[in-house]
Amino acid sequence: SQTIHQWPATLVQPVGSPLSLECTVEGTSNPNLYWYRQAAGRGLQLLFYSVGIGQISSEVPQNLSASRPQDRQFILSSKKLLLSDSGFYLCAWSRRWGTRNYGYTFGSGTRLTVV
Amino acid sequence: AQSVTQLGSHVSVSEGALVLLRCNYSSSVPPYLFWYVQYPNQGLQLLLKYTSAATLVKGINGFEAEFKKSETSFHLTKPSAHMSDAAEYFCAVPVGTPLVFGKGTRLSVIA
């Protein structure tokens, strides 16, 4: 069966520090991968998605970036965190073909607090 | 742009009462719609999905939703609320590859 791993679960970082959040998927090949951010009262904001290695689509211009170095690995990064980067970050995967039929499977999330 | 709108950011019901969470979609949306549930500090879990096979969709935990094209709605219901249903619920629609989510409705269940 397919599983998605996301870590760390919680993170407290000072303003201006770098960030690296990692997400990996097991039990499937060629998944679509997604990063969402959830801020209080603002729902889920799509940050990045990827349909293949090295292919990244950015939905929101900001100081975050994403990379997909391997088929089942998706990394969210920042060189210098801002206070506004605080939130709950969620990784998700979907089938390459048939997202509309099957939807997403989400990781357990990372709670990031920038202080 | 294709989107979904969830009416009511917070809904409170008594235990055993009917749960009704509202979702309306934009008229240009293709017939694929999803409901997800999120428990505190967890990821989202798929409750049910509409893929045009049947207008009444049954999901997990006793939830169901009915697709009504005439009303552009896909409301989520459960006949009898349980304390364990307290969570945040999101309606979603695919826009190209990604899913776009509504702002969510927090459900509180009162004993």
pLDDT tens for each residue of B64-74 = 999 998 899 99
Residue to test with chain B: of A45, A99, A100, most B Cβ within 10 A = A100
Q: Is A113 helix (H, G, I), strand (E, B) or coil?
A: strand
Indicate yes or no: CB of A100 within 8 angstroms of CB of B51.
yes
Report pLDDT for B97.
80
DSSP chain B: ---EEEE-SEEEEETTS-EEEEEEE-TT--S-EEEEEE-TTS-EEEEEEE-SS-SEEE-GGG-EEEEEGGGTEEEEEESS--GGG-EEEEEEEESSSSEEE---EEEEEE-
Percentage of chain B modeled with pLDDT above 70: 95
CA atoms within 13 A on the CB side of A11: 24
The minimum CA-CA distance between A29 and chain B, rounded to whole Å, is 17
Q: What pLDDT, on a 0 to 100 scale, did the predictor assign at position A98? A: 65
Mean pLDDT within B43-66: 92
Closest chain A residue to the Cα of B98, Cα to Cα: A49
Specify the pLDDT at position B9: 93
Least confident among A54-68, A96-110, B51-65 = A96-110
Distance CA(A88)–CA(B78), nearest Å, equals: 28
B96 touches chain A (CB under 8 A): no
Determine the residue of chain A that is closest to B94 in CA distance.
A100
Cβ of B97 within 8 Å of Cβ of A90? The answer is: no
Chain A residues with CB-CB distance to B99 below 8 A: 46, 99, 103-104
Query: Residue B46 and residue A51: Cβ atoms within 8 Å?
Result: no
